[in-house]
Amino acid sequence: MMRCMETRVIEVDLLDDCRAVYKEAAAVLAEGGLVALPTETVYGLGADAFNTEAVAQVFAVKERPAFDPLICHLAHAKGLKDIANVPAELQALVDKLAHEFWPGPMTLVLPRRECVPDIVTSGLPTVACRVPSHEVMRGVVRALGHPIAAPSANRFGHISPTSAGAVMKELGGRIPMVLDAGACAEGLESTILAPCIDEKGNPAVRLLREGPITREKLRGICRVIRPGKNKAVDAAAAPTAPGQLKSHYAPAKKLVLHNPREPFEPEEGVTYGLITYQGDSPLASQDCWAEVMPLSPGSGRLAEAAVRLFAVMRAMDEHEEVQVIVAEELPETGLGCAMMDRLRRAAANRDE
């Protein structure tokens, strides 16, 4: 049983000098404790990446399987050389990706250095590396002097938290500290890429997880190798990077996907809630919903929808009258690809 403790929530105002807060959080990490802190994507549950006992606590607190690797967060791109061995033939591509997208929501999977503990990489020969753009995460990394290993700050498989309040609902009483810097700007976890050499001998990237850095942005730099459309990762297969499990990002309630151009036939005696793209689809106009929550009310902007996705999923999951959540399928272009990836994995949680 998880030991209950008091969880301190410290509000962080980025308009102030935050160095004292960063040092306080780094002190907790240096002593082997865990701190939940924001990135531009979601809130992460951080541990000193070089402290195996602390990282083990991340898995225990989240109830996360040991075969699911973690992302190491760095303060700057120069820190990559401390935890990864970049092959000479990929150095130019890695440098270009880092220059273009770091700091930002891009994770690179690269051969690891021996200093990275096995528990961080789940025993894999690679390590997932990221330089976040959120000043709080980078500030704490700088204060600690080590990379921070941090998955999302929620119990395993649940909806990722985009606010400190959501973290407290998931992990309150399980961790000593949460740094509250408001809502996350992106709302979706980072894009995960594995630089590689393609069959023609040219540098390319394998797209391991969709995210805010879209395929369209990446294609301006290199070839993107990705799984076939709608191809889910085998639930029995061990992941090669975070966020690859078939069932993930899931509410406690059943969630089903539905084409917004087709009528929905409710089951008698079941109350439904609808997550709709912008609220004006034929599906949203049906009178069978106990609640309708738009992701981008009236405007149909994928960027706004991405920011709101996890918060809306969580609100619908907590709605007292809703028994089953229905989510409209979204246009699979740009950020829509990443959102559909998350929704498919959320729906897989309850597939029968």
pLDDT score of 300 more than 90: no
Cβ distance 227 to 299 under 8 Å? no
Q: State the pLDDT at residue 270.
A: 97
Q: State the pLDDT at residue 246.
A: 66
CATH superfamily of 8-180: DHBP synthase (3.90.870.10)
Decide which of 249 and 314 is more confident.
314
The amino acid sitting at 239 is P
Cβ distance 157 to 349 under 8 Å? yes
Which segments of 77-175 does DSSP mark as H helices, in order? Answer: 80-83, 91-101, 118-121, 135-144, 164-171
pLDDT score of 40 more than 50: yes
The amino acid sitting at 317 is D
Query: Which distant-in-sequence residues (6+ apart) come within 8 Å of 192 by Cβ?
Result: 107, 109, 128, 207, 208, 209, 211, 241, 242, 243
**Domain layout of the chain by residue ranges:** 8-180, 254-348
pLDDT in tens, 88-147: 999 999 999 999 999 999 999 999 999 999 999 999 999 999 999 999 999 999 999 999
Query: Which distant-in-sequence residues (6+ apart) come within 8 Å of 200 by Cβ?
Result: none
3-state secondary structure 17-79: CCHHHHHHHHHHHHCCCCEEEECCCCEEEEEECCCHHHHHHHHHHHCCCCCCCCEEECCCHHH
Burial 214-241 (b: 16+ CB within 10 A, else e): beeebeeebebeeeeeeeebeeeeebbb
Q: What is the CATH number of domain 254-348?
A: 3.40.50.11030
Average pLDDT over residues 224-232: 62
Q: State the pLDDT at residue 33.
A: 98
Confidence tier at 351 by pLDDT (50, 70, 90): very low
Return the SS3 of 275.
strand
